[in-house]
Amino acid sequence: MAVLLIAEINDGALAFDATAKAATAAKELGEVTILACGASAADAAAEAAKIDGVAKVLCAEDALYGHRLAEPVAALVAELAKDYDHVVAPATTDAKNILPRIAALLDVMVITDITKVVDGDTFERPIYAGNAIQTVKSSDAKKVLSVRTSTFDAAGAGNSAPVETIGAAADPALSEWVEDKVAESDRPELTSAGVVVSGGRGVGSQEDFALIEKLADRLNAAVGASRAAVDSGFAPNDWQVGQTGKVVAPELYIAVGISGAIQHLAGIMDSKVIVAINKDGEAPIFQVADYGLGADLFEALPELTEKLG
């Protein structure tokens, strides 16, 4: 079987970790071709060609595919899909935007967040905030899948696959770019960071969230937040971790002032070590934490940050 894997590209650079982890899943389905698509995609295509197990890379470099517009990319993939049995992408924000459009154009279902490939038609995925695993068998002629990258190891980078340049598909003219507003950060990207420090409603305010950021900076960590903290305006939306935010799987996850609602736990359960800091000793977060500290975060965090210094 043939698999088309949509590479994750940010501002012309390949998100290697996410793409390589999706490639590990894709290789279980058949021969993998990677599509590198963007206004600037040549460098990303060359990087993708190094991923072990990839047979070929298609490079679609055109201004039409700039600014992360989903509709032109979906039109291109739907056109290419005639030569493939599976269309796969890492379960990122871009994939959540693009894959449903591809599935609609192909008139098939989209199977999201797969964590295991059983066979070419059958996949496992978490449901009910990760409390159950659903086995899905699709009879569609073509399968459209997103891969939960936290459950797969990244493929190596010793390959040298050929890169083929392809032309742009017709512009569906369904959307246009108006403006980008990008938050600048020197911290690691949340979904690929080795250490994540997250704050919840217990932090109390946007100003006090600086305590979370100071600890994260000491640990060279990414900063996360619970949905309650985001909804309260303490942290920006792109820091949200959980069922309706980002799924993370760091070596170390530190949850500060987070009670441990099931929706948040769904986004952190693949973390290697979970540390909880909360003055409420009955908080559900302690039931899943490897280490728990029952303390006032406003006393514990400054002391911890100082000792780490």
Q: What is the pLDDT, as a whole number, of residue 124?
A: 97
CA trace torsion 72, 78, 84, 86 (10° rounding): 90
CA distances from 210 to 59, 204, 240, 298 (A): 42, 11, 16, 11
Tens digits of residue pLDDT in 208-245:
999 999 999 999 999 999 999 999 999 999 999 998 89
Average pLDDT in the 172-188 region? 83
155-179 burial by CB neighbour count: b if 16+ within 10 A, else e? beeebebebeeeebbeebeeeeeee
Q: What is the pLDDT, as a whole number, of residue 68?
A: 86
Q: At what angle do helices 93-106 and 70-80 cross, to 10 degrees?
A: 50
Q: What percent of the chain has pLDDT over 90?
A: 86
Residue 129 banded pLDDT, cuts 50, 70, 90: confident
Residue 309 banded pLDDT, cuts 50, 70, 90: confident
Q: Nearest-CA neighbor of 173 among 79, 96, 74?
A: 74
* 282, two tokens: 């009955």
HSE-up of 33 (CA within 13 Å, CB side)?
22
Longest Cα separation, the chain: 60
Q: What is the pLDDT, as a whole number, of residue 306?
A: 94
Q: What percent of the chain has pLDDT over 70?
A: 99
Residue 257 banded pLDDT, cuts 50, 70, 90: very high
Tens digits of residue pLDDT in 143-164:
999 999 989 999 999 999 999 9
Tens digits of residue pLDDT in 23-81:
999 999 999 999 999 999 999 999 999 999 999 999 999 999 988 899 999 999 999 99
Q: What is the pLDDT, as a whole number, of residue 292?
A: 96
Separation between Cα atoms, residue 279 and residue 289, nearest integer Å: 14
> Which of 98-107, 128-137, 157-166 is predicted least confidently?
128-137
Residue 104 has pLDDT above 90, yes or no: yes
Residue 183 has pLDDT above 80, yes or no: no
